[in-house]
Amino acid sequence: MSSIWIILTGALIASSCAFLGCFLILRRMAMLGDAISHSILPGIVIAFLVSGSRDPLPMFIGAAVFGLLCTIIIQLLRNQGVQADAAMSVSFTALFSIGIILISLFTQQVDLDLDCVLYGEIAYVPYDTWTWHGIDMGPRAMWGAGAAFLLSLIIVRLFYKQFKLTSFDPALAMAIGIPVAVFHYLLMGLVSITTVASFESVGAILVVAMLIVPAATAYLLTERLGVMLGLSVLIGTLCSICGYFLSVVLDASIAGCMTMVAGGLFALAFLFSPHQGVVTRWWIRKKLRTQI
Amino acid sequence: MLELFRDANALWVLAGTTLLGISSGVLGSFAFLRKRGLMGDVLAHSALPGICLAFLFTGSKNPLWLLIGATLTGLLASLFLSWITRFSKIKEDTALGLVLSTFFGFGIVLLTQIQHSDFGNQAGLDKFLFGQSASLVGTDVVMMGSIAFILILLVSLFFKELKLLCFDANYGKSLGFPMVGLDFFLMLLLVVAVVIGLQAAGVVLMASLLITPAATARYWTERLDHMIIISACIGALSGLVGTILSSVATKLSTGPLIVLAVTILFFISMFCAPKRGLIAKWLRLIQTRQKVRQEQIYQAWNQLGTQTTTLTALSEQSNLSPAQIRRWLNQKKRGGQVVEGSPDTFTLSSTSWKEASDTALLGLYMEMWHMYEDIETDCSIQDIEQLSDLPESLRAQLQYYLQKHISEEDQAKTYHSMKKVGIEL
């Protein structure tokens, strides 16, 4: 039973990350997931110090606030003419360091495992269950990831046209009166919430991987946004299932194996994608040459 | 504080972090200019599988082997990065994240395998990534220092080529420089700089030390050689400050303090740098705004044609609000250039009246200059601030075009008025 819970949680996390990752890739902000997942550390520590417990809700709020704060700082710096990559690394490294300093200042009060934040351990997910009216509803992390996924699905479905246009042609979107900044921050908010809901169980690195790799794979396979969104969710789910079984075989970290599977799928798409693969293009060129 | 300088071990740490700041400051400048600032983050993460593989093959935790392993996977990561961007439509930022997470995921798989299987002496492998500068010993620092020295030497030897690579790679190619090879060479230097820092500083600190000093230095200068020196100094300074602070407040670890020090330096530069800083830009904006306001009002006053005029007339002529004009008039009244007669009626002093007509004339000349391209002159249009800046020959040409333009305009006006009353031409 526990393996089904792990696969299901992993699939939900991978799907919700991959879904939003498509928009990040199209907006050329792929590294934002990395920045957000590092910068939520001070939020978690502060929430822990204020609430004095390991309750998930205050931690969730603290982390989401700092995730959003990080994107706001990045945007402010970019508006002041700072190069995009510099704006990103300056803000997330500073916030992460503040988090570490806070942890070392309040070592006695804070019982947070730094390794756990970065690596995460999805194998423990089934033991932290949510009981509702005395009924065991399954792992809490699964419900969190599911809720985040549902929220993104609803919001993106509602404003699909606007998200599409602001991702592909922000200048046109602005010209016809779509509030580009509002949709930017809406997306950032969704990414923050999804990152925060996922990282506790799978670690920051898997969140970054799932935000980028399945979406990039889907990007190579299609030229339509709708298809890309569907494909990336499918690939994310596949990564979760294959990654789990690979981890059983190799006796290694589940999150790491899921990332490896995602990387492998990307490599396949990179080489053999029907229109854009390196090998397929080479093959088409060779066929053309013999025809001529 | 003084104790720090008596303690030999602490001195080693201090020397180590300072050297680290210098080498990453120098190489970070190139990474920054190539818009590869996030490269430090990627290389630092992709060192993990290299470290694990080196441990698996050699079975020892000798830092030299671990460094070699980390360098190899770092190079592999940067190769993948350039392949992905070159052979597919995937953009740079996506490729960065992709390589980072896949390599780190692979590293975690290896790490957990090592931990689960019975390798014995594996504890502390992951510490290599989080960094522990407090534990630096003499031999570590000597190794770091000599590698850093070689890196800086190589950069100064190939300075011209690297400069070309950063600013105009295509031009370099046309000159016959092997640009792809040079790019790989720069990557190699970057990988080594990140890897020697990892042990002392950890992943996040290396990501920060590689880019923030360079971004800070960019505020102070427009020259590459100056930028590299400033960036090295900022790296060294933040290394020093971070280490000293952490020795004063013993609870705090060095790495995050160095990051905070360098971030604070960045923000100070962002606001206070003389030319590119925000405060300087803001002051310049105010100055320009005042100058434009003055030109607008002078032109309006000149078009009204009288030295004495009313506020409402000025406001209508110039399309500025009465409040804006009132503010300007009050400022000039204090300087004595404007005298207020009866309420809301103002007289311009004769020198200012001359200045107003000059400004208006210069405005017309400038319009001519923009309109006619065949004006012959050596001076650039940006250098002209006032009427006396115009050389005589240029002024004569502009005057000629202006008169021609005015007469054409007059002709057109007469033509239209004649048509209106129905006279056939």
Half-sphere exposure of B10 (CA within 13 A, CB side): 17
Rounded to the nearest angstrom, the minimum Cα separation between A127 and chain B is 21
Neighbouring C-beta atoms of residue B123, cutoff 10 Å: 10
The yes-or-no verdict on residue B204 having pLDDT over 60 is: yes
Q: What is the pLDDT of residues B381-399, one digit of tens each?
A: 777 777 777 777 788 888 8
The yes-or-no verdict on residue B188 having pLDDT over 70 is: yes
User: For B2-276, which CATH superfamily applies?
Assistant: ABC transporter involved in vitamin B12 uptake, BtuC (1.10.3470.10)
Q: Is residue A165 part of a domain?
A: yes
- B90 CB neighbours in chain A (<8 A) are 216, 219-220
| 3-class state of residue A250 by DSSP | helix
Q: Is residue A284 part of a domain?
A: no
pLDDT at B425: 46
Rounded to the nearest angstrom, the minimum Cα separation between A42 and chain B is 12
Joined tokens for residue A78:
């970019």
Using the beta-carbon criterion (under 8 Å), do A31 and B36 form an inter-chain contact? no
Report whether B214 contacts B32 (CB < 8 A). yes
Residue A7 belongs to domain with CATH number? 1.10.3470.10
Q: How many structural domains are present in chain A?
A: 1
The yes-or-no verdict on residue B340 having pLDDT over 90 is: no
Confidence of residue B263 (pLDDT cuts 50, 70, 90): very high
**Residue predicted with more confidence, A122 or A197:** A197
How far apart CA B263 and CA B234 sit, in angstroms, is 10
pLDDT at B99: 93
pLDDT at A266: 94
Give the range of the structural domain holding residue A23, as residue numbers without chain letter. Answer: 2-215
pLDDT at A269: 93
Confidence of residue A227 (pLDDT cuts 50, 70, 90): very high
- Identify the closest residue of chain A to B33 by CA–CA distance: A83
Half-sphere exposure of A289 (CA within 13 A, CB side): 6
H or E element that contains A281? helix A278-291
Confidence of residue B134 (pLDDT cuts 50, 70, 90): low
pLDDT at B2: 56
The yes-or-no verdict on residue B214 having pLDDT over 90 is: yes
Is B364 an 8 Å CB contact of chain A? Answer: no
Using the beta-carbon criterion (under 8 Å), do A104 and B89 form an inter-chain contact? no
Q: Out of A147-156, B11-20, B118-127, pick the least confident.
A: B118-127
The structural domains of chain B, with segments of one domain joined by +, span 2-276, 283-420
- A105 CB neighbours in chain B (<8 A) are 251-252
Using the beta-carbon criterion (under 8 Å), do B106 and A101 form an inter-chain contact? no
- B106 CB neighbours in chain A (<8 A) are 256, 259-260, 263
How far, in whole angstroms, is CA A155 from its chain's centroid? 17
The yes-or-no verdict on residue B253 having pLDDT over 70 is: yes
pLDDT at A121: 66
The yes-or-no verdict on residue B44 having pLDDT over 80 is: yes
Using the beta-carbon criterion (under 8 Å), do B111 and A253 form an inter-chain contact? yes
The yes-or-no verdict on residue B280 having pLDDT over 50 is: yes
Report whether A212 contacts A25 (CB < 8 A). yes
Look at the block and give the residue holding tokens 């589940």: A254
Rounded to the nearest angstrom, the minimum Cα separation between B183 and chain A is 19
Report whether B44 contacts B199 (CB < 8 A). no
Tell me the mean pLDDT in the region B300-316: 80
Using the beta-carbon criterion (under 8 Å), do B253 and A266 form an inter-chain contact? no
Q: What is the pLDDT of residues A252-280, one digit of tens each?
A: 888 889 999 999 999 999 998 888 888 88
Question: Which of B124, B117, B130 lies closest to B47, judged by CA?
Answer: B130
Report whether B280 contacts B292 (CB < 8 A). no
Q: Is residue A264 part of a domain?
A: no
Task: Count the helix, strand and coil residues of chain A and give each as a percent rounded to the nearest 5.
Answer: 80, 5, 15
**Residue predicted with more confidence, A132 or B10:** B10
Q: What is the CATH number of domain B283-420?
A: 1.10.10.10
Share of chain B above pLDDT 70, in %: 91
* Average pLDDT score, chain B: 83
Encode B179-210 in three state secondary structure: HHHHHHHHHHHHHHHHHHHHHHHCHHHHHHHH
How far apart CA A66 and CA A87 sit, in angstroms, is 16
Joined tokens for residue B239:
């290394």
Q: Is residue A277 part of a domain?
A: no
Using the beta-carbon criterion (under 8 Å), do B107 and A256 form an inter-chain contact? yes
- A98 CB neighbours in chain B (<8 A) are 256, 260
Half-sphere exposure of A263 (CA within 13 A, CB side): 26
Q: Which residues touch A60 (CB under 8 Å, ≥6 apart)? A: A144, A196, A197
The yes-or-no verdict on residue B362 having pLDDT over 70 is: yes
| 3-class state of residue A60 by DSSP | helix
pLDDT at B262: 93
Among A73, A212, A222, most B C-beta atoms within 10 A, so best to mutate, is A212
Using the beta-carbon criterion (under 8 Å), do A89 and B207 form an inter-chain contact? yes
Confidence of residue B195 (pLDDT cuts 50, 70, 90): confident
Rounded to the nearest angstrom, the minimum Cα separation between B263 and chain A is 6
The yes-or-no verdict on residue A115 having pLDDT over 60 is: no
pLDDT at B127: 64
Phi then psi for residue B344, to 5 deg, are 65, 15
- The minimal CB distance from B109 to the residues A25, A82, A257 is found for A257
**Residue predicted with more confidence, B287 or B9:** B287
- Identify the closest residue of chain B to A88 by CA–CA distance: B38
Report whether B141 contacts B15 (CB < 8 A). yes
Question: Which of B27, B167, B207 lies closest to A31, judged by CA?
Answer: B207
Report whether B214 contacts B226 (CB < 8 A). no
Q: Is residue A134 part of a domain?
A: yes
Phi-psi region of B5 (alpha: psi -120 to 50; beta: other; left: phi over 0): alpha
**Residue predicted with more confidence, A8 or B371:** A8
Q: Which residues touch B64 (CB under 8 Å, ≥6 apart)? A: B143
H or E element that contains B310? strand B308-310
Query: Model ipTM?
Result: 0.90
How far apart CA A35 and CA A26 sit, in angstroms, is 17
**Residue predicted with more confidence, A211 or B311:** A211
